[in-house]
Each structure stands twice: as C-alpha cells, then as structure tokens.
Structure 1
Amino acid sequence: MKLSVIILNYNSSCHTLECVNSIQRQTQLNDYEVVVVDNGSQAVDFDRLYSLTGQPFLKVIRSRVNLGFAGGLQLGLQVADPSSAYYFFLNNDCLLLDDVCTRLYAFMENNKAVGVCTGQAVNRTDDLEPSFNYYPSLSGNLLGHGLMRWFTPADYLPRRQKYREPVPVPVVTGSALFVRATAFWQVGGFDPAFFLYCEEEDLCRRLRQREWKAMLIPDVRFRHLGGGSTRRNLLIEKEYYISLFYYFRKNENVIKQLLLQLFYTLKVGRKAFRSTHFAQLAWFILRGAPGRESLRYRQGFPVMASQTTDHQPTPSLLSL
C-alpha cells in the first residue's frame, strides 16, 4: 500500500462523509486506503457512517470512548495496511480541492530528506489560512514572533504570506499532516498523552531532532471548513493549556516552565475583569494546568451503535 489516509470522526459524520467523498473524487493515486476512526461518538452519529462500508479501499472502526486526537489516530494505524509508505492524517472538516494525495506522495518520493509535509489550506471563501505554525517557546512569547524573525528567520516565517514554491516550515498543520511512515515510527508516532492539542508540534519537534524536514507545498490545496467537532468553551480552553504545559514539561527546563506558567497566567488574568471565564482560566494555569482535569476523564461509557450479524464487536472496538 502506498498511502493510508486516517480520519477521525467525533459526532460530526456529515463532515466525515463529505471528506471521504472529496478524497474519492480527487485522488488518482493507485493503492491507497482510507481508515475512518469513530472516536466515541453517539450511536446515531456512528450509524451514519454505515454508508461507507462495503468499499474495498475503506475501513471504519469505532472506539467506545474518545481517545483524543493522538490516541484516535494511533488506533486507526492499528488497522491500516502495515506496508503503507505514507500516512495522511486528515481532519474530517477538510475537503480536497485537487489531487492532494497523489501530489504530496510524489513530492515525498522525490525528496527523501522530508519527513512530513502539508498543502495550503483555504477557508470557505477561498482565502488562505495559515498551514504551519511555530514551536511554542518562552522567547517567542516574550519577544514576539516579529522580533524573533530577525534572529531565527527560518523558525518564524510569515504564516499568512502567499508562497509559490515549497518552503521548509517549523510545524505543519495537524489538519492535513502527510508523513513518511519510516520517519513517523522512528520517532515513536504520536504521543497519546496529548488529548486534543499540540500533537503536531510535538511530532514535528521529534522529527526535527532526527533531522527530518517539514515542508509546505503551497500549490497543493485543501479547504478547511473549521469547527468540525470542537466548540470553544472553558473546558476546551483548559484542554489547550493542559496539552501546552505537557509539551513544555517534555521540552523545557524547570525554570522556563515556571516562567511560562507565570507568563500565561498574567496574559489570561489581565482579561479577568471582562469575565469570570478568564479568571477561572488564569487560576487553572497558575495551578499548573493539571492533567487530571482533562476532558479525557470526564467521559461516560456510550452504548454501541446498532449491530447486525455482519458486525463483530470486541470489548473496546467495533470493526466494520
């Protein structure tokens, strides 16, 4: 198998079906497969995915609980073809606007030093969206990205600039992350301790440490609709800081961790007069954004979707 496309579904099957349809319409690559992972959705939403079954290139599996972004993708890899040369981790709220899979595959085949790449995202009105990001850092927060660009321009490329040629970037977007399988497994894959955010920063950092390049391929386009399965609220904001400070604990010394904790507490706390939302969030950061308060531990145990004699459930997974 040349390519395995891994897509997560969480109570947003309408996006998932449109995403899969766009892959079918646009992709000319031979020997690819699509793996859809239902990440603990409600039964009625999971039932809508049944229309995808019976297609030889497509697999649908279900986790009883939400494993998070990294955990869900890692689960998908358990049923992906083990011979796949590349993985394309694609958000279900993305639509391919051209033959993204074939073109990214060809680019990676011709550039063996590249471990991960992505295309150019556009929004609903065809305006460019940033398709890469910077590594979270103390210097970037204190000095600002514009000033840091003077010191390390390669790590702080303008994110909203229109690029015409492939360009090395620090962190490719997690919404459409195309990675070389050998590089991915060399660094251990995704860290499932990240539940919802910072997975791509962590992965790209580990790839960079092994001297794999990350690239933006600007003439390969996909549409990112946004808001596929996540709505912003206090719990989601907390989840972001849980992941962010886990990332800092992995990559920064204790002094920098404390300074970053103080920085973000003050940054959020200065808005506390606007709403108790920011006051609660600042207090949460000051307490170190404890992982025990993650949404990971606030889940119920959903009832499995309706089953027929063709479905073979296991204690933690329903495979179609």
Structure 2
Amino acid sequence: MVNKINYNVAIVIVNYRTGELVVNCLESLKAIFNQSVKVVIVDNSSGDNSVDLISNWISNNENAYLICSENNLGFSGGNNLAMESVKKMGFSADFIWLLNPDTFVRENALQHLLTFMQQNLQVGIAGSRLEDSDGKPQCSAFRFHSVLSELDNGLRLGIITRLLQNWQVPLPISDVPVSVDWVAGASMLIRKQVFDDVGLFDDKYFLYFEETDFCLQAKKSGWPCWYVPASRVVHFVGSSTGVTDGSKKRRPRYWFESRQRYFLKNHGWHYLILANLAWGLAFLLFRIRQKIQNKQDNESEFLLRDFVNFNFFNK
C-alpha cells in the first residue's frame, strides 16, 4: 500500500505520429487525473490522425490538454512548449513528469516517485524502472558518456569491457533506489526547483542526449538524479522512434548531431575529437574482428560510414 501524497504534478507527453500509443498511455493514467494531476500532450505536427485520436480521448477529461505545434520541435522543444503552456494555464506544478508516448504506467508508479522525492528533498530528478510488457526490466539508469565509454561501446571486446566496467554507460539493474548520473526520459520526474536553477531543456537537441545533458546540468547545479525501481513503467522500446539497440535501422542525422553537441557543449572540441577517435577506431577493429569470425551483422546500416562522414567530413 502506497500512501497518497498530494503534490501538483504536470504530466508531459510529446507525440509524433503515435496517437494510438498516446491514448494507450493516457488510459493507464486516467485514474490519477484530478485537480492536482494534469496532463499536457504536445502533438509535434504529426500530420496523421494523432490529433483526432487524442482529442477524442481528452474530450471527456477536463484535466487533460492537447497542444498542437505547427512544427516538429523534437523531444526538447516539445517538452519545453508543454512546460511553458503549463505556466500560462496558471497551474503551479511542484513536479513535471515526462513520459514517452510509448509507455504504459503501472499502478502507483507516480506515487512511488513522489514518496521518494518527499523523503529525499535534495534529489532533483527521479526515474522509473522501465520494463517490457512481461515485466522484464530494461536498462534505464546510466553513467555519463566519456572517452572510455565510447572506446568500450565501439570495441565490444570482453576483456576491455571488464576493465572499463566503471565507465560503461548502462548501469546494472538495481532492485533498490540508487544514485545515478542520468535516467531515461521515458519516465522522468523533475522537481520544479531544478527548472528554476537550470532552465528548460536545451532545444538545440532535436532527439537523443537531451535528457543526459539536462541531468548533467542539474548535477552541476547541485541536484542529483536517482533511479527508483518501485515505480514501474512499461516501455515499448523504439515504437516512437524506430531506433533501438540492436536495430539495423540507419541512424538519423540528428542522432549524430545530438551526440556531437553533448560532447562539444560539456567537454569542448579536444574531448570531442578524442571521443570520435576512440569510438571510430574501436568500431573499425570490431568490424574487422566480426568479419574474421564470420559473426552475424546486427549493426545499424552504414553506421561506420555515417559516423566518419558526419564527424570528420561534416557530410
């Protein structure tokens, strides 16, 4: 039994051509909507039937709102638009809960996050345990990216991975709350004071790395991030973007742009060059070993070529 804690919470969902998923997510949330818990959905100029589907669902709920953007603002811009709209509504939110459209919220997921935040007033950001529909946990808590994590991610060699385990980005899945560098934006509860100190999301990130960057800025301002596994949220990975680990789908250009911005903004040009060299050379060695050992190719199409073209030739 989870004690009910009364805070004003604005739930934010950004949609792009995933109207059915948004409605599915809203269905899992409807029991908690009230004068203290409102949801704002931003449609990022989907151009499909998303607006109709979402409008039909929210027509019977006075605590749900749909904002239609004229342009696709990406994850950062969409969330910023929603949060600015919450202010204009005159709703004083103590917390903002970011949810992906491709999620389904388990019972008491929000209350577990709020309970943790009430008990840990120094914590600025809390993330849920993301899981498959059968309850299998997904990795949703991470370390910050570094040159050594780029080396390990590119090389994928067991002995090197073991040596660099303290620099690996994905953290071991924990059954108890743990302090982490960042959590997945698919379910991220953020204290209002964090926005007061840090500002909104950096809208120069279109998609990817924006939550990593935000958690880093929050940490620099004295707001740590924690993973709270009692809060459980089903995440249908890749349903909204189509890009997942192990997917052969070609990485979009904005993924490379976001990665570059993260390293450049937070570490400078020299560090970015080292990170690029570490990953590029390591991944080349991985591909050579893969060919020699005749292993199955499960990598994104043209990944190395696109990485080299973007980072070294700006193509």
Q: Structure 1 length normalisation: TM-score?
A: 0.80
Q: Which of residues 75, 85, 90 is equivalent to 2:81?
A: 75
Supply the distance in 2 between the matched residues of 1:180 and 1:279 (Cα, whole angstroms): 39
Q: In 1, are the aligned partners of 2:143 and 2:170 still within 8 Å (CA)? A: no
Measured after TM superposition, the shift of residue 24 of structure 1 is: 1.1
Deviation digits for residues 241-276 of structure 1 (CA, Å, limit 9, x no counterpart): 210110011111322211112223334555498797
Q: Which of residues 190, 197, 203 is equivalent to 2:201?
A: 190
Gaps of 5+ in 1: 294-320
**1:123 aligned residue:** 132
Residues 241 and 157 (structure 1 numbering): CA distance in 2 closer, same or farther, change over 3 Å? closer
Supply the distance in 1 between the matched residues of 2:303 and 2:129 (Cα, whole angstroms): 33
Residues 260 and 75 (structure 1 numbering): CA distance in 2 closer, same or farther, change over 3 Å? same
Q: Which of residues 262, 273, 277 is equivalent to 1:262?
A: 277
Equivalent position SS for 2:196: helix
Output the amino acid matched with 1:21: E
Q: Which of residues 17, 25, 49 is equivalent to 1:19?
A: 25
Q: Which of residues 268, 272, 277 is equivalent to 2:302?
A: 277
Deviation digits for residues 151-182 of structure 1 (CA, Å, limit 9, x no counterpart): xxxx7697343x33211111111110100011
Supply the distance in 2 between the matched residues of 1:166 and 1:37 (Cα, whole angstroms): 31
Alignment identity in percent? 25
Supply the distance in 2 between the matched residues of 1:169 and 1:63 (Cα, whole angstroms): 33
Supply the distance in 1 between the matched residues of 2:301 and 2:122 (Cα, whole angstroms): 49
Q: In 2, are the aligned partners of 1:70 and 1:195 still within 8 Å (CA)? A: yes
**CA RMSD across the alignment:** 2.5
Alignment of 1:223-242 (within 5 A): 223-232=234-243, 233-236=249-252, 238-242=253-257
Supply the distance in 1 between the matched residues of 2:162 and 2:126 (Cα, whole angstroms): 24
**2:189 aligned residue:** 178
**1:38 aligned residue:** 43
Supply the distance in 2 between the matched residues of 1:180 and 1:122 (Cα, whole angstroms): 24
Residues 251 and 50 (structure 1 numbering): CA distance in 2 closer, same or farther, change over 3 Å? same
Supply the distance in 1 between the matched residues of 2:236 and 2:170 (Cα, whole angstroms): 22
Which shifted more, 62-71 or 39-48? 39-48
1 or 2 for the larger relative contact order (CA 8 Å, sep ≥6)?
1
Output the amino acid matched with 1:7: I
